[in-house]
Amino acid sequence: MPFPGHATAEGTDRFRARTSCPEAHFHKIGDQFWSSVGIGTYMGERDDETNRIVADAVFTSVKGGINVIDSASNYRSERAEKSVGRALSRLIEDKHCNRDELVICTKGGYLPFGAPGFLSDVAGKVGEVAEHDMVANGHCMHPDYLEWQMNRSLEHLGLDCIDVYYVHNPEAQAGKIEERVFDQRLEAAFRFLQGAVKDGKIRAYGIASWNAFRLTPDNPAHMSLQKAKSIARRAANGGRDHFHFIQLPVNLAALEGLRLPNQMVGRDAFPAVRAALTLGIRTISSGSIGQAKIPELSEELRLKLGANLNDYQRALQFTRSAPAIATALVGMKQTEHVLKNLEVCNRPPLTPTQARALYS
């Protein structure tokens, strides 16, 4: 039987109070407490040994004070979600934590097993999905496809509700289809996700992007947050929309989300993270340590980020400290790396003033 429930204010506060991490490690997101660092699960080979070590990494992360877990249908061809499900089963059944203490996020949109072979298994067999709904032989936002992936995700995770469900990299279709068609597809996806919230399958939704919110407006793959929010409001039919989150890379080498004023809100241009906050959307950073590709740091920067940390830990400290970042996701599967990142969780983030001084 799937574990019932979802993250709650009471549950996440209980988790926060039970950990040894400083209070500043948790960010208030709505009425919930989210750990400033979250575990990503995209890394590794498609084999049973990786399944095991990813599950162990999730288990160790939660035990150490991380309550935000991120995955996706296509990560390791659905194996990542299954690893998360295995860890959740162990955590909850053995009473290490409760379901309402954890923020579980996943994504849909990509073919999980690759194309073109799997494409023929989907087109014409999953609801009304047709081959023209697939772009670049691998991406689909059709509501029937998202519903199919969401139901598989719930099964793999062993849950009856996902806290945040993302449309995964919709910019994969931008520039490849007409803008009018793209907007129609995004609205149809949002209408489905609004219904999924009403049905209790998810609590909120968002867009997980890689480039969409970091590009200049003249790039075909650029997406306007203001426009996306407007589409979500239209999809809500006059009610409250549940488009509350975006995900994009923010790290020492990818500062566009904090510095590049590429998003218009009204007549003002803002960087994506600030624009999102203005629109009532919270930002989760992915690639928070730049996939372990850390730029050379000056001695001054090393001292400001933590004299007794290594450069990977400093990179994580930088991203988790950026104002308005809800959670800094970092892909983890080795126990050694989990423990090193937990060391960062056990120290206070930089103050907003210190963080702004660094990235500005």
**Any idea where the domains of the chain sit in the sequence?**
9-253+284-359
> What's residue 108's pLDDT?
98
> What's residue 36's pLDDT?
98
Q: What is the pLDDT of residues 83-128, one digit of tens each?
A: 999 999 999 999 999 999 999 999 999 999 877 778 888 888 899 9
**Lowest-pLDDT choice from 95-99, 173-177, 231-235, 256-260:** 173-177
Express as a percent the part of the chain with pLDDT over 90: 91
Q: What is the pLDDT of residues 156-179, one digit of tens each?
A: 999 999 999 999 999 999 989 999
Choices 3.40.50.300, 3.40.605.10, 3.20.20.150, 3.20.20.100: CATH for 9-253+284-359? 3.20.20.100
Distance CA 318, CA 33 (A): 20
**Span 268-293, mean pLDDT?**
96
Pick the closest to residue 166 from 193, 187, 126, 148 (CA basis).
Answer: 193
* b/e per residue 107-123 (b: at least 16 CB within 10 A): bbbbbbeeeeeebeebb
Backbone φ and ψ for 226, nearest 5 degrees, come out as -60, -40
> What's residue 292's pLDDT?
85
pLDDT range class, residue 19, cuts 50, 70, 90: very high
**Span 143-164, mean pLDDT?**
98
Cβ contact 201:163 at 8 Å = no
Tokens in use for 67? 């309550």
Cβ contact 107:73 at 8 Å = yes
> What's residue 166's pLDDT?
98
The structure's pTM equals: 0.97
Distance CA 94, CA 203 (A): 25
131 Rama class: left (phi>0) / alpha (psi -120 to 50) / beta? alpha
Enter the DSSP assignment of 254. Answer: B
Angstrom distances, CA of residue 69 to CA of 10, 101, 349: 18, 11, 20
Cβ contact 117:106 at 8 Å = no
> What's residue 136's pLDDT?
83
> What's residue 84's pLDDT?
98
Q: At what angle do helices 335-345 and 311-321 cross, to 10 degrees?
A: 50
**Span 174-186, mean pLDDT?**
95
Calculate the average pLDDT of the chain.
Answer: 96
Distance CA 20, CA 6 (A): 23
